[in-house]
Structure 1
Amino acid sequence: MNVTIRMKRKAEVKGRVSTPNYEAAYCRVVGCQNPARAATGEGLDNRFCRPHAEHYARHGSPYRKSYTAPEVRPYRKAAAHWIKANASDPWIVNALQRVRGLYATAGGHVEAFRLRGLPPEERAKAAWARLRKAGVDPVKVLADVLAVEMIIRDDPQADHKREFKEVQAAKLVHRMASGTHKRWGEGASATELHVFPRSRGRVLRHLGKDALEVGELVVDHHQDALPKAPVPKEAQR
């Protein structure tokens, strides 16, 4: 696409965004009385209002929030223990090899502050490269994927759409990938830089797709064997 066509296309989209589409319905989330973004001149989305669209981008569901670290932790620990206890299982061996494959094909390490402007797929690969550089054990990645399957299995109000699973798995992996941390100088005059990549949008979808594909054969062949997470002590009170 040459520059002229690209600029024309950009102007067309901008015009459509700024012109309210009064034929657009209200937000599709049950109980929400806000109009869809397309009807307000704030976007082209004719499904959700702005708050629910942002919630959807961040969590993978327009209404269900992401699971918190304390909620996931017992599932992750149970999954990691189960993986190590069944280390010779061919499907687990295959899954761990897939993680190493993602590490190997992620490309060079990219500092978190250099990610701006990169396509979502490249930013997702950069997350795998950060995990590789940090030496994160593939068992931890697989444990995160299985933890998502387990917590959704036990959640009576879970969103079972694949996209929600992708985003939940991506958030856990993304958390392990951390960010870039640098320090110059010594003592009180030292300068520090801490940059963390944003955890939302299409990047999570690409990262989550890779993560779920890592464990899909383990889940297919051991769905009923996945362990039950112990009930946290605070939940027993």
Structure 2
Amino acid sequence: MTNWNTRKKRHDEVVANAKRPNHMYGYCRVMGCSKPARAGTSDGLDQRFCRAHAEHYQRHGSPYKGSYTAKQLNPYRQAALLWLLDNENLPWVENAIQRVKGLYQQAGPHVEAFRLRGLKPKERAKAAIARLRKKEVDPRVVIAAWLAVEMLVLDDPQPDSKIEYKRVQAAKIVHRMASGSHKRWEREVQRRGNLGQSTQVVVEEMHVYPRSRGRVLRQLGEMLESAVELLVDHHLEEAHAFKRGRDKLGKYEDRPYPKRLG
């Protein structure tokens, strides 16, 4: 049996199992949710969550808690970046910067956002990092995104402190930094009017933004964690104390970067 036939047979088995309800999984594990887990319906194999909470988990990294908003994150991102700029000669800050630069170098060739279809999650995550490299995003801005999530989780009265949530939250920030692909071109169009045929130049644009969810975010978050974990271990408390000091002085701006970085 060829590999293609084996994959098709396995695919058909999974589809059949997904359509066969298993009544052992009658409830979603999220407290207060009255819907059955997807394995208890003909809608999938998830034994833990209903469809709505499974989708929420894919997008946010937690079935219970949503993503932090820009308004919540921006003061932390700005404070983290200022702390990095003031302490960039510390060995673990230098180490994190070099590790992010290493991610840039190892990300492979730049891939346009409209050519990502069919790539595996890890390849899509690397493509996002390659877009950061092409845009020449400062590695310190990437590090600040992770530090901001760590500090916000510490200050959150109802946090989700699991590493997967942190990975997804940081990856969502960085994924937005990578943005998408933008193309603009001109073409000539023949138009016929009362005075005869004329040629008109039409400007067309294409803007494609990759979806920010699922295993791509997990892969991207894991790469970011590997770059900053030693910095977090050694200096998170100092960065957090710097943020609290700014709060006491009333220094707050609803923007992710300090003015000196534009």
Shorter-normalised TM range:
over 0.9
- Say if 1:4 and 1:179 are closer, same or farther in 2 by CA, change over 3 A: same
Letter in 2 for 1:7: K
Residue of structure 2 in register with 1:91 after alignment: 92
Residue of structure 2 in register with 1:211 after alignment: 224
Structure 1: tracts of 5 or more residues without a match: none
2: distance between equivalents of 1:223 and 1:131? Answer: 24
Contact 1:25 1:47 in 2 (8 A): no
Query: Structure 2 matches for 1:177-188, cutoff 5 A?
Result: 177-185=178-186
Contact 2:75 2:253 in 1 (8 A): no
Counting aligned pairs with the same residue, the percent is 59
Cα deviations across residues 125-173 of structure 1 (Å, max 9, x unaligned)?
Answer: 0000000000000010001010010111110111000000000010010
| TM superposition shift of 1:233 | 6.9
- Say if 1:190 and 1:52 are closer, same or farther in 2 by CA, change over 3 A: same
Letter in 2 for 1:49: C
| TM superposition shift of 1:223 | 2.7
TM-score, length basis structure 1: 0.95
Cα deviations across residues 187-232 of structure 1 (Å, max 9, x unaligned)?
Answer: 9821110000000000000000111121111110113212325375
Contact 1:25 1:46 in 2 (8 A): no
Residue of structure 1 in register with 2:191 after alignment: none
Structure 2: tracts of 5 or more residues without a match: 188-199, 255-262
Moved over 3 A (4+): 229-234
Contact 1:60 1:163 in 2 (8 A): yes
| TM superposition shift of 1:25 | 3.2
Residue of structure 2 in register with 1:80 after alignment: 81
| TM superposition shift of 1:45 | 0.1
Q: Whose strand fraction is larger, Structure 1's or Structure 2's?
A: 2
Cα deviations across residues 64-95 of structure 1 (Å, max 9, x unaligned)?
Answer: 01011111011000000000100110000000
TM-score, length basis structure 2: 0.86
- Say if 1:107 and 1:233 are closer, same or farther in 2 by CA, change over 3 A: closer
Contact 1:60 1:164 in 2 (8 A): yes
